[in-house]
Each structure stands twice: as C-alpha cells, then as structure tokens.
Amino acid sequence: MLSFELCEPHTLEDAFDLLGHDDPGVRPMGGGTALMLMMKAQMFKPMRLVSLRRIAPFSGLALSEDGARLRIGAMATFSEIEHSDVVRRHFPAVVQAMKTLANVRVRNVASVGGNLAHADPHLDLPPLWMAHDATARLVSKNGERVIPVAEIFRGYYETSISDGELISEICVPLREGWRSTYAKITTRAIHDWPALGIAVSLQLEGGVVRDLRIVLSAALDKPTRLRAAEEVLRGGEVDEVRLRRAGEAAVAEVEIHSDSRGSASYKNHLLRVHLARALQSVIGG
Ligand SMILES: Cc1cc2nc3c(=O)[nH]c(=O)nc-3n(C[C@H](O)[C@H](O)[C@H](O)COP(=O)(O)OP(=O)(O)OC[C@H]3O[C@@H](n4cnc5c(N)ncnc54)[C@H](O)[C@@H]3O)c2cc1C
C-alpha cells in the first residue's frame, strides 16, 4: 500500500513552503483526477501532495469589474464552469464541450489549473481557452507572470511552468461580436478521448470573417493554432471554395501521426471534413 502525506494549506505562502522540496514525489494537487490515474499506473509515486483547494485566491469565477473579462480561479471545477450562468451567456461553447468531457464524478473535482498543467494533448478545454485568447496567471515565491494559455504547452505532457510555479487563475476576454464552437471527434466511443479536437472562434461582420482562431488538439503533441487555414478565411465570406481551401491549408500545415485512434490519412480526412462543419456551425449559429 502506497503511503504519502496529503497537505491542505490555507495560504499560498504555506503551499510554497510545503512544495519547496527538490523531490519529484512532491506535487501540487488540483482535483487529483490525473494524479490518481498516474499513481494507479505506478507512473508517479508521491511523497507529498499539496492540495490547493483551501487557498482562497485560487477559487471562484466572476466577471471583472469592468466586465471585460472572465476570471476563473485555478481550483474552479469543471462542474462550476458547466453550471455557471456567466459562462453559459458569454462562452456557450465551453458549456457545450463539458457534455462529453469525462463524467459527472470527474467534472465535480477536476480543476481548470490541473487540467492545463497536466498538458495531455487530448484534453478538451485547452484548445477552447486558446481559441478565446485566454491568459494564465502563474505565481511563485519570486512573483508572478501572465502568459497566453498557448504558451503553457511545450509538447507532449510538457509545459513551460517552472518548478515552484503554480497556475492561480485564467482570464478569458469577452470579445464583442465573436462566436465559437468546439468539435470533439471520437473514432471509437462518444465518451472516448478525441482523435481530433477542433476549436474555432470567429468575428463575423456582414457575412465577412473579420478575424478568427482555429486550434487543433489531440492529433498533435500539443494544441496548435492553424494559422494558414485562418489566413485563407480572414477577410472573406465563408463559401464552399474557401472552406475547401482552408481544409487543404490545415492539412498541409501540420504533420498528423497515426495512432490507435486512426491512421494519419484518415485523421487528415477528418480534419478537412470537421473543420468545414465547425466553421459552418459557427457561422450558422
Ligand atoms: C475517467 C476519466 C475520464 C476523463 N475524460 C476526459 C475527457 O473526455 N476530456 C478531457 O479533456 N479530460 C478528460 N479527463 C482528464 C481530466 O480532464 C483531467 O484528469 C483533469 O483535467 C486534471 O485536472 P485535476 O484538477 O484533477 O488535476 P490533478 O490530477 O490534480 O493534477 C494534474 C497535474 O497538474 C498539476 N497541478 C494541479 N494543479 C496545478 C496548479 N494550479 N498549478 C500547477 N500545477 C498544477 C499536478 O501536480 C499534476 O501534475 C478524464 C479523466 C478521468 C479520470
């Protein structure tokens, strides 16, 4: 039987003290859902887990005073987000994504911060935060820094979060006239991990795409902006020809590998088809 210490500090200072050991067995804990899986698989043997759930500044979710952005504490759970009226009103695609994300038991405890720090490329929320231009606040004993969520991801389970740094919150700007969607494409069962995740956010004016973000996840080592596909669509109307060209540009700009969820050529085909569908659904919505 594995024995380890579970600490629940009330202040950030205490958390840093408890985490300040040069031991890979000492880790911060959000909801613990990813950590528990790693422990069961014996990939991670904890010496001490430091839960962040009692640290007040890490919790809650609310609009900023000027109403320009939504602040989500790192310990906000997926269920809090799913049932938040503010999120439903301003970011319906995030609520939509929750419907096929894990199950209620996981959503009740999994946290926004733990989800980002885990950096599994198959996760459903990181591409959505990226498509919404969200930023993350990282705090450490030495101060804090705010970076685009996109800059957290370095590669397969690899992040730019330094030892001793914690994600304390993310901020999602409310962008006038933008709409978004997320397509989770599974090739086995509906609740399986995606073979592809496609997040799209777009600003439409009189039928013309003023600006947009397209982020592809699951099929690559990290969630990735599809800038060439965006370029095809920016400044024009979305018609059949542009959709086809955007699909081709998307396939050309990334190198998708084969895995247990499909061959590279099959996933390239899925990308062409589902990118067009995602764009059509945002424009129609
Ligand atoms: C049965 C099951 C099904 C799932 N299905 C899906 C799915 O369909 N789609 C999907 O997207 N995800 C799915 N997940 C994954 C789930 O989203 C992640 O396990 C979850 O997001 C991790 O969040 P957590 O708070 O539990 O992280 P934890 O397990 O607590 O931590 C994960 C990692 O982040 C670190 N960490 C935690 N908090 C912080 C912080 N604030 N700052 C810095 N580092 C931190 C930890 O040290 C650890 O390394 C599933 C998980 C399970 C168990």
| Residue with CA at minimum distance from ligand 1 atom 10 | 123
By the 10 Å C-beta count (0-12 exposed, 13-18 middle, 19+ buried), 78 is classed as buried
For the stretch 111-137, pLDDT in tens is: 999 999 999 999 999 999 999 999 999
Say yes or no: 185 and 168 in one domain. no
Say yes or no: 12 and 81 in one domain. no
Ligand 1 atom at minimal distance to the Cα of residue 117: 34
Residues 64-78, mean pLDDT to the nearest whole number? 97
Q: What b/e string do you get for 9-19 counting C-beta neighbours within 10 Å, with b at 16 or more? A: beebeebbebb
Residues 92-98, mean pLDDT to the nearest whole number? 96
Say yes or no: 64 and 47 in one domain. no
| Residue with CA at minimum distance from ligand 1 atom 2 | 102
26, 118, 186: residue to mutate for ligand 1 pocket, most atoms within 8 A of CB: 118
Say yes or no: 35 and 97 in one domain. no
Ligand 1 atom at minimal distance to the Cα of residue 103: 3
Domain boundary among the residues 121, 141, 173 is at 173
Say yes or no: 131 and 192 in one domain. no
Say yes or no: 203 and 233 in one domain. yes
What pLDDT does 189 receive?
84
Domain boundary among the residues 173, 188, 217 is at 173
The Cα–Cα gap between 111 and 117 comes to 10
Determine if the pTM surpasses 0.95.
yes
pLDDT band per the 50, 70, 90 thresholds, residue 21: confident
Cα torsion at 207, 209, 212, 214 (round to 10°)? Answer: 80
124 CA distance to ligand 1 middle (Å): 11
Say yes or no: 73 and 33 in one domain. no
For the stretch 206-235, pLDDT in tens is: 999 999 999 999 999 999 999 999 999 999
| Residue with CA at minimum distance from ligand 1 atom 27 | 114
pLDDT band per the 50, 70, 90 thresholds, residue 275: very high
Using alpha carbons, select from 202, 204, 130, 213 the residue that is nearest to residue 172: 130
What pLDDT does 192 receive?
85
Ligand 1 atom at minimal distance to the Cα of residue 75: 41
Q: Domain of 131: which CATH number? A: 3.30.465.10
Q: Domain of 28: which CATH number? A: 3.30.43.10
What pLDDT does 60 receive?
95
| Residue with CA at minimum distance from ligand 1 atom 1 | 102
Say yes or no: 80 and 155 in one domain. yes
For the stretch 144-186, pLDDT in tens is: 999 999 999 999 999 999 999 999 999 999 999 999 999 999 9
Q: What's the number of domains the chain is made of?
A: 3
Give the range of the structural domain holding residue 9, as residue numbers without chain letter: 5-51
What pLDDT does 260 receive?
93
The Cα–Cα gap between 273 and 56 comes to 44
What pLDDT does 1 receive?
56
Taking 70 as the threshold, does the pLDDT of residue 193 lie above it? yes
Q: Tell me the C-alpha to C-alpha distance, in Å, between residue 62 and each of 72, 89, 143, 170.
A: 7, 13, 23, 11
What is the number of alpha carbons within 13 Å of residue 254 lying toward its C-beta? Answer: 32
Say yes or no: 190 and 227 in one domain. yes
Say yes or no: 68 and 165 in one domain. yes
Say yes or no: 161 and 183 in one domain. no
What pLDDT does 81 receive?
98
What pLDDT does 74 receive?
98
Q: Domain of 251: which CATH number? A: 3.30.390.50
Say yes or no: 198 and 277 in one domain. yes
Q: Which long-range contacts (CB under 8 A, 24 or more apart) does 174-177 make?
A: 174/63, 174/67, 174/68, 174/69, 174/70, 174/90, 175/132, 175/133, 175/201, 175/203, 177/203, 177/204, 177/205, 177/210
43 CA distance to ligand 1 middle (Å): 15
End-to-end CA distance of the chain: 52
Residues with CB under 6 A from ligand 1: 27-35, 37, 52, 74, 101-102, 106, 110-111, 113-115, 117-118, 123-125, 161, 166-167, 193
Q: Whole-number mean pLDDT of the chain?
A: 96
Domain boundary among the residues 110, 140, 173 is at 173
